[in-house]
Structure 1
Amino acid sequence: MIITKTPFRMSFFGGGTDFSGFYNEHGGAVISTTFDKYCYVNVRHLPRFFDYSNELSYSRIERVNSIENIEHPAIREAMKFLDMHEIRLTYEADLPARSGLGTSSSFAVGMLNAFYGLKGKYADKKKLADEAIYLERVLCQESGGIQDQIAASFGGFNRIDFRADGYTVNPIIISADKKRHLNDNLMLFFTGFSRFSSDISKIQESTMKDKSKQLLEMLSLVDDAEEILTSKSDLNEFGRLLDYTWKLKRGITNKISNDSIDNLYAKAIEAGAIGGKLLGAGGGGFLLFYVEQDKQQKVKDAMKDLLYVPFEFENNGTSIIHYTSESYVLKEKTIDNSQQFVAADSSF
């Protein structure tokens, strides 16, 4: 049995420049961090007592004999890619899916890590990131960037640079006191809305050439933000820069925000937040605000209808937290039976 623990991420600057259609031509960069909210993937071989060969539990339960009949695209394609058979997989998470925190990519990274562990093989963080990108963007043909898979795999507070020939991950060099101060001044609220980031990403990709001016400016803000973090600059400038990059991002497509999100954002600013942004591709999920500590109660009061989620930065990325080896021999012939049992609904 293998259990992996993979963090979620929050992206501060440069989102959208991690799309291949942009960084292949202009280069790209993001500043992001992982934090102490995780998804857990438990994988073992399914005992041969049942009339199905694979059991998959996420927000629904799938029981199938043929891998081709698995409805969850990432699980199906990952099992085919790594030649996995007779699997029992369970997914759990601290935060909901489709909420702008890279949850699907964290799941992809954690699942691949668990599959390699079950095979008794070691996969380093770059291999896991690369293969999670390949799984989601090529095998599953989902639109989007590549920062989430990298952040979830490597973990930490990083600047990630993208080029046509690859990417680099560099930790932001920031003092412990300043990093703690930043963490203390960030507030996270769940709006209750959710959406499929891939749908918004498709729209963003289709308008990318028309919005290259905004994206180039968003890219330049990565350098500005890194300078604020690594110098003696007033940390409140980080909050002001968040506000500016959010306004730029809203101009890329009208699907990124809506009236409800805009009203919530305005209320937080009026209550004392210096800046903030909606995390992820847009359309709903989590709002992040930079708020000085003496004004945080007023912002909480203004956001009283939303769930406040305290968090701490984390540095570990994906990890195996339980490992028990198994003796497993694949059946000589797996019965291909199209019958399957599916319970519940929605995505993981």
Structure 2
Amino acid sequence: MIFIGKCPYRISLLGGGSDLDWFVEDECFGNSIGFSLAKYSYTVINKKDKNSKIGMLNYSSRETYSEIDEIAHPLIRESLRYLKINNLIEMNSYGFASGGGGLGGSSSFCISFLAALNKAFNLNIANKELAHICSEIEINILGKPIGRQDQYISSLGGINALLYKPKGHVEILNLSKNHIEAIKLVSDELILIPSLRTRSADKVLHNFKNSNKAKESLKDIRSICENFLKTNKSINELYDLLNHSIKESWEIKRKMSNVMDLELENQFNIINQIPNNWIRLIGAGSGGYFLLSSKVDINEALSFLSNKDIKALKVELSKEGISACVV
């Protein structure tokens, strides 16, 4: 039997950065809104026979191991260690985007791996707990200076608003029907455009931590998200407010250190020829994907980009979070 773990990537709309543990500890809370993307990481696992002496791991590289400590890939090694999986495995992974794209790729990969292990070894761990485990592995065990929204938005599936509290506690907030419908309207107009540059979110976010100006900017970004969550208006009014809020948050973020440079600004200016509500980089910045909210028909916008030799795709919201199956 083989066991397949599947986890979507994610799109963050508001509040990104306020999910960082150091910010939450200093400022008491953070919040964010996002949704899972209909693009996925897949991890396929085969449990090796008890007499086997070598396990095999195939991702962007290939390695073999006989003991967990020998594994070079940190997420694979620490996932096996955290779940106390001593049984040797054969693993293959596949995905839409690697880490560094701004879509939560590293977390999506890790969660798909955890989901496959959960299924293969009958651990019966709930999806929200898998998100927590992934967060603990990435943040507290491996010391990555990232936040917790990637793991939870990917794991839960659909549209989610999250509240981040000290000591790694994350709560799912209730969204009104009008808020959900407004977010769906916005998501229907989105296009993903690769900047053709990957970057280490760790390096970008590490710079944020050491900047007092960045902390103040993150407080402003959090307030914009909080205001949207607390606003009680019609769907169309919330649609307008959400677009305005995303644009306002981006204008704050793009002024932060290392988010944009000349090459990215040039790409931004080409994309900006399409009539739009806003354009922003997803994730920590400095590369990855641009997200465009088009005011014109999606196909017209895609055609324009294609004529500029820019590959792009329409964003599709995924209703599903983590899943796993046996074949």
Query: TM-score surpassing 0.5?
Result: yes
Partner of 1:107: 109
Q: Tell me: CA distance 1:228–1:31, structure 2 relative to 1, closer, same or farther (3 Å).
A: farther
Does residue 1:37 correspond to 2:45, yes or no? no
Match of 1:124 among 126, 132, 152: 126
Aligned residue identity for 1:57: N
Partner of 2:256: 252
Partner of 1:172: 175
Does residue 1:73 correspond to 2:74, yes or no? yes
Give me the whole-angstrom Cα distance separating, in 2, the residues matched to 1:58 and 1:275. Answer: 35
Partner of 1:4: 5
Aligned residue identity for 1:257: M
Q: Tell me: CA distance 1:294–1:114, structure 2 relative to 1, closer, same or farther (3 Å).
A: closer
TM-fit CA distance, 1:58: 0.5
Whether the 8 Å CA contact 1:279–1:285 is kept in 2: the answer is yes
TM-fit CA distance, 1:16: 0.8
Whether the 8 Å CA contact 1:156–1:171 is kept in 2: the answer is no
Structure with greater helix share of residues = 2
CA distances 1:153-174 after superposition (whole Å, capped 9, x unpaired): 1111111111115221135334
Whether the 8 Å CA contact 2:188–2:315 is kept in 1: the answer is no
Partner of 1:267: 270
Does residue 1:90 correspond to 2:105, yes or no? no
Match of 1:136 among 135, 138, 143: 138
In percent, how many aligned pairs have the same letter?
A: 22
Whether the 8 Å CA contact 1:77–1:135 is kept in 2: the answer is yes
TM-fit CA distance, 1:317: 0.8
Whether the 8 Å CA contact 2:294–2:301 is kept in 1: the answer is no
When normalised by structure 1's length, the TM-score is 0.85
TM-fit CA distance, 1:90: 1.0
Does residue 1:151 correspond to 2:149, yes or no? no
CA distances 1:289-342 after superposition (whole Å, capped 9, x unpaired): 11123486257525733211223111221111x225xxxxxxxxxxxxxxxxxx
Give me the whole-angstrom Cα distance separating, in 1, the residues matched to 2:67 and 2:234. Answer: 53
Alignment of 1:289-304 (within 5 A): 289-294=292-297, 297-298=300-301, 300-302=303-305, 304=308
Aligned residue identity for 1:25: D
Alignment of 1:301-312 (within 5 A): 301-302=304-305, 304-312=308-316
Partner of 1:283: 286
Give me the whole-angstrom Cα distance separating, in 2, the residues matched to 1:273 and 1:232. Answer: 17
SS in 2 for 1:235: helix
TM-fit CA distance, 1:184: 2.2
Q: Which runs of 5+ in 2 are unaligned?
A: none
Aligned residue identity for 1:115: L
Give me the whole-angstrom Cα distance separating, in 1, the residues matched to 2:107 and 2:140. Answer: 13
Give me the whole-angstrom Cα distance separating, in 2, the residues matched to 1:186 and 1:172. Answer: 21
Whether the 8 Å CA contact 1:241–1:275 is kept in 2: the answer is no
Q: Tell me: CA distance 1:145–1:230, structure 2 relative to 1, closer, same or farther (3 Å).
A: farther
Aligned residue identity for 2:39: K
Q: Tell me: CA distance 1:122–1:299, structure 2 relative to 1, closer, same or farther (3 Å).
A: same
TM-fit CA distance, 1:189: 0.7
TM-fit CA distance, 1:180: 4.5
Whether the 8 Å CA contact 1:40–1:91 is kept in 2: the answer is yes
When normalised by structure 2's length, the TM-score is 0.90
TM-fit CA distance, 1:222: 0.6
Partner of 1:206: 210
TM-fit CA distance, 1:38: 0.3
214-223 or 39-48, which deviates more: 39-48
Give me the whole-angstrom Cα distance separating, in 2, the residues matched to 1:177 and 1:231. Answer: 6
Give me the whole-angstrom Cα distance separating, in 1, the residues matched to 2:68 and 2:297. Answer: 55
Whether the 8 Å CA contact 2:276–2:292 is kept in 1: the answer is yes
Give me the whole-angstrom Cα distance separating, in 1, the residues matched to 2:234 and 2:198. Answer: 34
RMSD across aligned positions (CA): 2.3
SS in 1 for 2:304: helix
